[in-house]
Copies of this chain bind each other. A is one copy, B any other.
Amino acid sequence: MTETTSLAVAMIGLGSMGLGMAKSLLASGHTVSGYDVTASATAALGDLGARACTSPADAAKGAQIAVVVVVNAAQTEAVLFGDNGIVPAMVPGGVVISCATMAPDAVRALAERCSQRDIHYLDAPMSGGAARAGTGELTFMASGSPHAFAVARPALDAMAGKVYELGETPGIGASFKIVNQLLAGVHIAAACEAITFASKLGLDIDKVYEVITASAGNSWMFENRVPHILEGDYAPKSAVNIFTKDLGIVSDIGRTETFPLPIAASALQLFLATAAAGMGRDDDASPARLIAQITGINLPQAKEH
């Protein structure tokens, strides 16, 4: 455990989230080295004054902390233990801060393999978009050993507005995130269904937005995503494919645990239909476009993106 507050941090995955988080770490005085499979993303990190590296292992060399911000469990495993993986390259006793949303069982398996190499695993899925990543205001739903939290603290403080410490075992953070994603996915699907239904009823959907956001039918997602529909802006702030993945994890756990989840299942099907119709990489408000296409209602014209 280090007493200095300036850490050597490896940042693996430099999409809009990872790059923003690197910015926040640099702004707090940490040393950042980073890698992304996309060369231009790695180069963008270099432009910020961090060390642009040629592999995950290169970025992790001598790092006390590695922040892994990739899409899923398979990518996280590859970053940790694949060719040029980070775990063998890190300082013993170092901490992996793992941010991808994945099944709790997958988290527990990765954490176990890390501990065999004297690397601590902080299960730290996050909430908040790219803007909040760049300003160090993310929310982490985190679990892990007290040691992992203590070592990671200065890095977490640089990236987060709020860190929920949810338990000492990796997997708990993932479970909280999965419950959040169940709700978030259902609420987006419901928002898309409701706003198109409102249009079918002949209502002014701008006015519907105003009234609903002040009423008991509101949700965080309705308030955040419906403006994309009203503006016809389907450039992906977060993509449909994220929810086919996350609600897919929810569905998998439901079957493994023999726990019926009919509302989440219905939302998953709507996201799958939207992806099947070719909008998987578009904004997750796109189910509204699919419903409009099917039913023949007119939504605000979608902009090019």
Contact = CB atoms under 8 A, between A and B. Distances in A.
A269 B186 CA distance: 16
A182 B216 CA distance: 11
A266 interface: yes
Chain A residues touching B, range: 35 or more
A261 interface: yes
B194 A190 contact: no
Contacts of A265: 266
B263 A189 contact: yes
Contacts of A267: 263
A179 B164 contact: no
A139 B263 contact: no
> How many identical subunits does the complex contain?
2
Contacts of A183: 190-191, 194, 212, 217-219, 222
B176 A186 contact: no
Contacts of A260: 291, 294-295
Contact of A182 (B214, B217, B270): B217
Contacts of A250: 197
Nearest to A295: B259
A297 to B, nearest CB: 8
